[in-house]
């Protein structure tokens, strides 16, 4: 087990932007701390830090852009703990993350909470629960959704700085980002990159892909718009318009990928010729690109 030196970004305590799940145990505070830390350290994207007596397992998932801290503290920070069933004892362990996160990202943290509760006999609590509870995925996710919705209502102006995309589209995008490294035999292919575009006065996001015609390519799921160079300049067109022209040359990439398609090496030259010779209707609205990190499902 390896702890990094004290990290200046560790911040313990109340924070309006933080959402937390607290761990409890029925009738006892005894658990194997070394085993818990060993489990956390073994998880992908996890690093251990120590600040005095406080231990932190930091989850930093660079693939989907999710950060969370699993904190073993020296004191309780559970609000209104006196109202909870006294048979459950606070372990001074909790996980916290930014409330402005998408449900798919939070589900990855809930997966880890699930394993911890089962392996160590823990229960879990959040302020939106009636009381401490055994692990129930729906309960944990619903509490997060309620807090996020409440934050949106209270800080509506702040939400205008974030763009919006539906949960289903985000699910397929994140799934693709996680799976694309597992797709076999694509060394000679371009995996087209996502871009996220919106009208200046709207939160609604359009999912775009940047077309690269230097070699055979893979089209990720949920594309709505395509940015391409028509030989004279860059234009933005409808993905459905492009698909009508090259649809018969598209094939499935991987059965696990909803709507993910490819132009293989045999079809590439034909497809490239069709695209460069075709006339496409450009989008009529002015669109600006937004960072994916500022796209929410609410």
Of all residues in the chain, what percent are helix, strand and coil, respectively (each to 5)?
Answer: 30, 30, 40
pLDDT for the residue numbered 15: 62
Within-domain flag for 261: yes
Q: Is residue 188 part of a domain?
A: yes
Domain assignment of residue 134, yes or no: yes
- Give the pLDDT score at 60: 97
Split at pLDDT 50, 70, 90, the class of 3 is: low
Q: What is the pLDDT of residue 2?
A: 62
Say if CB 211 and CB 169 are below 8 A apart: no
Are residues 270 and 203 part of one domain?
yes
User: Does residue 254 or residue 266 have the better pLDDT?
Assistant: 266
Domain interval for residue 121 = 18-159
Domain boundary among 159, 177, 203: 159
pLDDT band at 16 (very low <50, low <70, confident <90, very high): low
153 in any annotated domain = yes
Please state, in angstroms and as integers, the Cα–Cα distance from residue 51 to each residue in 28, 68, 220, following that order: 26, 16, 42
The secondary structure of residue 107, as a DSSP letter, is: H
Q: Are 123 and 181 members of one domain? A: no
Farthest CA pair distance, the chain: 73
- Using the CB atoms, write b or e for 148-184: b if 16+ within 10 Å: beebbeeeeeebeebbebeeebbbbbbbbeeebeebe
Distance CA 259, CA 253 (A): 9
- Strand 46-51: give its sheet, edge to edge: 46-51, 54-61, 66-72, 88-98, 18-26, 123-125
Stronger pLDDT, 261 or 4, i.e. the higher one: 261
Whether residue 10 has pLDDT greater than 70: no
Kindly tell me if the per-residue pLDDT of 58 is higher than 70.
yes
Mean pLDDT of 82-97: 96
Using CA atoms, how far apart are residues 94 and 49, in angstroms rounded to an integer?
15
Average pLDDT, the chain: 90
**Are 147 and 32 part of one and the same domain?**
yes
Last residue of a domain, which of 129, 159, 189? 159
Q: If you search the block for the tokens 């934050």, which residue do you land on? A: 151
Residues 31, 35, 36: CA angle, nearest 5 degrees? 75
Per-residue pLDDT band at 32 (split at 50, 70, 90): very high
Q: Is 69 or 16 the better-scoring residue by pLDDT?
A: 69
Using pLDDT thresholds of 50, 70 and 90, give the confidence band for residue 236.
Answer: very high
Which residue among 104, 132, 159 closes a domain? Answer: 159
Using DSSP, state whether 59 is helix, strand or coil: strand
Which of 26-30, 187-191, 207-211 is the least confident region?
Answer: 187-191
Q: Are residues 247 and 288 in the same domain?
A: yes
Residues 29 and 149 both lie in one domain: yes
Q: How many domains does the chain have?
A: 2
Please check whether residue 91 lies inside any domain of the structure: yes
- Tell me: do 147 and 236 sit in the same domain: no
Quote the pTM value. 0.88
Helix (H, G, I), strand (E, B) or coil at 228: strand
Asked whether residue 143 falls in the same domain as residue 247, the answer is: no
Q: Are residues 117 and 91 in the same domain?
A: yes
């Amino acid at each position: 087990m390896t702890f990094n030196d004290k990290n200046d970004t560790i911040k313990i305590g109340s924070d309006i932007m933080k959402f937390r799940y607290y761990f409890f145990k029925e009738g006892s505070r005894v658990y194997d701390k070394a085993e818990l830390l060993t489990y956390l350290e073994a998880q992908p994207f996890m690093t251990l830090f120590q600040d005095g007596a406080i231990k932190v397992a930091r989850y930093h998932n660079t693939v989907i852009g999710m950060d969370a801290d699993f904190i073993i503290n020296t004191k309780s920070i559970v609000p209104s703990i006196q109202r909870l069933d006294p048979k459950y004892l606070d372990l001074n362990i909790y996980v916290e993350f930014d409330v402005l996160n998408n449900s798919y990202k939070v589900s990855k943290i809930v997966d880890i909470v699930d394993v911890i509760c089962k392996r160590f006999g823990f229960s879990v609590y959040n302020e939106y629960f009636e009381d401490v509870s055994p692990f129930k995925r729906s309960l944990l996710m619903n509490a997060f959704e309620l807090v996020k919705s409440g934050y949106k209502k209270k800080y509506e102006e702040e939400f205008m700085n974030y763009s919006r995309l539906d949960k289903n589209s985000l699910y397929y995008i994140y799934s693709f980002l996680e799976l694309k490294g597992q797709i076999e035999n694509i060394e000679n292919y371009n995996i087209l990159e996502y871009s996220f575009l919106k009208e200046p006065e709207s939160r609604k996001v359009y999912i775009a892909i940047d077309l690269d015609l230097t070699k055979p390519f893979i089209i990720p799921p949920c594309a709505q718009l395509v940015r391409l160079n028509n030989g004279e300049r860059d234009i933005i067109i409808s993905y459905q318009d492009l698909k009508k022209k090259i649809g018969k040359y598209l094939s499935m990439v991987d059965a696990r990928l909803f709507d993910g398609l490819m132009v293989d090496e045999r079809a590439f030259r034909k497809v490239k010729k069709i695209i460069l010779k075709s006339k496409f209707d450009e989008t009529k609205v002015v669109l600006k690109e937004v960072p994916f990190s500022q796209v929410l499902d609410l």
